[in-house]
Amino acid sequence: MNLKELYQEIILDHGKNPRNLGKFENFNKDAKGHNPLCGDKVHLFLKLDENKNVNDISFEGEGCAISMASASIMTDLMKGKSEKDAKEIIDKFLDMIKEKDDINTNLLEEDEKTKLMSLGGVKNYPMRVKCATLSWHALSSALDEFQKDVTTE
Amino acid sequence: MKIENIKKEFPIFNNKIENNDLVYLDSANSSQKPLVVVDRIYDFYTKEFSNIGRSVHYLAVAATNLYENTRTAVQKYINAKNKNEIVFTKGATEAINLVASTFGQKYLKEGDEIIITELEHHSNYVPWHYLRKNKGIKINFAEIDEHGDISLESVEKQITSKTKMIALTHLSNVTGAILPIKEITELAHSKGIPVLVDGCQSAPHMKMDMQDLNCDFYAISCHKMYGPTGLGILYAKKKWLDDLPPYQGGGGMINEVKKNDISYGELPNKFEAGTMATAQVIAFNESINFLNKIGIDNLINHENDLLNYGEEVLRKNNSVKLIGNPKKKGAVLSFTIDGIHPHDIATILDEDGVAIRAGHHCCQILHDKLGLTASARASLGVYNTRDDLDKLNESINNCKKIFNK
B152 falls within a domain: yes
Pairing of strands B357-359, B375-379: antiparallel
Report cis status (omega within 30 of 0) of the bond before B268.
yes
How high is the pLDDT of residue A4? 67
In which order are the strands placed within the sheet that holds A54-62?
A: A54-62, A40-48, A29-35, A150-151
Rounded distance, CA A63 to CA B326, Å? 29
* Longest Cα–Cα distance in chain A: 43
Phi first, then psi, for residue B123 (nearest 5°) are: -70, -15
How high is the pLDDT of residue B104? 97
Cα distances (angstroms) measured from residue B159 to each of B124, B132, B153: 18, 17, 10
CB pairs under 8 A between A and B: 45
DSSP string, B285-297: HHHHHHHHHH-HH
> Which value does ipTM take for this structure?
0.83
Q: With contacts defined as CB-CB under 8 Å, which chain A residues touch B339?
A: none
How high is the pLDDT of residue A8? 67
Q: If you average pLDDT over every residue of chain B, what do you get?
A: 96
**pLDDT confidence band for B237 (50 / 70 / 90):** very high
Phi first, then psi, for residue B152 (nearest 5°) are: -55, -40
Same domain flag for B203 and B339: no
B32 falls within a domain: no
Interface contact A4-B358, CB threshold 8 A? no
B305 falls within a domain: yes
Beta-carbon count within 10 A of B48 CB: 15
Rounded distance, CA B266 to CA A84, Å? 67
**pLDDT confidence band for B162 (50 / 70 / 90):** very high
Q: What is the separation of C-alpha B39 from the centre of its chain, rounded to a whole number of angstroms?
A: 23
Same domain flag for B21 and B115: no
Rounded distance, CA B15 to CA B5, Å? 16
B106: buried, middle or exposed (CB in 10 Å: 19+, 13-18, 0-12)? Answer: exposed
* Longest Cα–Cα distance in chain B: 73
**Given B200, B215, B222, B362, the catalytic residue:** B362
Query: Which one, of A96, A143, A139, A137, lies nearest residue A120 by Cα?
Result: A96
Same domain flag for B219 and B256: yes
Interface contact A12-B403, CB threshold 8 A? yes
**pLDDT confidence band for B93 (50 / 70 / 90):** very high
Q: Is B236 helix (H, G, I), strand (E, B) or coil?
A: strand
* Fold held by A3-143: Sufe protein. Chain: A (3.90.1010)
Q: Is A152 helix (H, G, I), strand (E, B) or coil?
A: coil
Residue-wise pLDDT tens digits, B325-362: 999 999 999 999 998 999 999 999 999 999 999 988 89
Same domain flag for B276 and B304: no
Interface contact B347-A131, CB threshold 8 A? no
Interface contact A63-B341, CB threshold 8 A? yes
Mutate to test the interface with A, among B373, B377, B398 (most CBs of A within 10 A): B373
- Residue A147 or B289, more confident: B289
**pLDDT confidence band for B286 (50 / 70 / 90):** very high
This prediction has a pTM of: 0.93
Same domain flag for B191 and B246: yes
How many domains does chain B fold into?
2
Interface contact B351-A4, CB threshold 8 A? yes
- Is the separation of the CB atoms in A116 and A93 below 8 Å? yes
Residue-wise burial string across A87-108, b where 16 or more C-beta atoms lie within 10 A, e elsewhere: eebbebbbebbeeeeebebebb
Domain boundary among B236, B264, B292: B292
Rounded distance, CA B141 to CA B163, Å? 12
- Is the separation of the CB atoms in B268 and B86 below 8 Å? yes
- Is the separation of the CB atoms in A89 and A77 below 8 Å? yes
Cα distances (angstroms) measured from residue B87 to each of B75, B245, B250, B289: 10, 14, 16, 19
Q: What percent of chain B has pLDDT over 70?
A: 100
How high is the pLDDT of residue A145? 66
Rounded distance, CA B84 to CA B235, Å? 9
Interface contact A2-B351, CB threshold 8 A? yes
Cα distances (angstroms) measured from residue B121 to each of B96, B136, B200, B229: 11, 22, 10, 18
CATH number at B367 reads 3.90.1150.10
Same domain flag for B299 and B377: yes
Same domain flag for B328 and B200: no
- Is the separation of the CB atoms in B124 and B93 below 8 Å? no
**pLDDT confidence band for B42 (50 / 70 / 90):** very high
Domain span at residue B255 reads: 39-292
Q: Give the closest-approach CA distance of B373 to chain A in angstroms.
A: 5
Beta-carbon count within 10 A of B160 CB: 11
Rounded distance, CA A58 to CA A19, Å? 8
pLDDT tens string, chain A, 153 residues long: the values are 566 676 767 777 887 788 999 999 999 999 999 988 777 899 999 999 999 999 999 999 988 888 999 999 999 999 999 999 999 999 999 999 988 888 888 899 888 888 888 888 888 788 889 999 999 999 999 998 666 677 765
B34 falls within a domain: no
Same domain flag for B317 and B299: yes
Phi first, then psi, for residue B339 (nearest 5°) are: 80, 0
Domain boundary among B277, B292, B307: B292
| Facing A64 at nearest CB: one of B344, B351, B404 | B344
In chain A, whose CA is at the least distance from the CA of B362? A37
Same domain flag for B394 and B253: no
How high is the pLDDT of residue A138? 94
How high is the pLDDT of residue A98? 85
Chain A positions touching chain B (beta carbons under 8 Å): 2-4, 7-8, 12, 16, 36-39, 63-66, 125, 127-128, 131
B371: buried, middle or exposed (CB in 10 Å: 19+, 13-18, 0-12)? Answer: exposed
Same domain flag for B271 and B172: yes
B90: buried, middle or exposed (CB in 10 Å: 19+, 13-18, 0-12)? Answer: middle
Same domain flag for B19 and B43: no
Phi first, then psi, for residue B144 (nearest 5°) are: -75, 155
Same domain flag for B131 and B103: yes
> Which residue type, as a one-letter code, is found at position B276?
M
- Is the separation of the CB atoms in A122 and A66 below 8 Å? yes
Interface contact B374-A66, CB threshold 8 A? no
Rounded distance, CA A61 to CA A149, Å? 14
B374 falls within a domain: yes
B33 falls within a domain: no
SS (H, E, C) A25-82: CCCCEEEEEEECCCCEEEEEEEEECCCCEEEEEEEEEECCHHHHHHHHHHHHHHCCCE
Beta-carbon count within 10 A of B110 CB: 8
B72 falls within a domain: yes
Rounded distance, CA A33 to CA A133, Å? 10
Q: With contacts defined as CB-CB under 8 Å, which chain A residues touch B344?
A: 7, 64-66
Instruction: List, as own/partner pairs, every contact residues B292-299 make where C-beta atoms lie below 8 angstroms and the sequence separation is at least 24, other chains included.
Output: B292/B77, B293/B1, B294/B1, B294/B3, B294/B6, B294/B382, B296/B206, B296/B207, B297/B207, B298/B3, B299/B3, B299/B205, B299/B382
Residue-wise pLDDT tens digits, B167-225: 999 999 999 999 999 999 999 999 999 999 999 999 999 999 999 999 999 999 999 99
B318 interface with A at CB cutoff 8 Å: no
Rounded distance, CA B74 to CA B170, Å? 18
Rounded distance, CA B65 to CA B236, Å? 22
Domain boundary among B292, B319, B340: B292
B373 interface with A at CB cutoff 8 Å: yes
Q: With contacts defined as CB-CB under 8 Å, which chain A residues touch B359?
A: 37-38
B341 interface with A at CB cutoff 8 Å: yes
**Catalytic annotation present for B215:** no
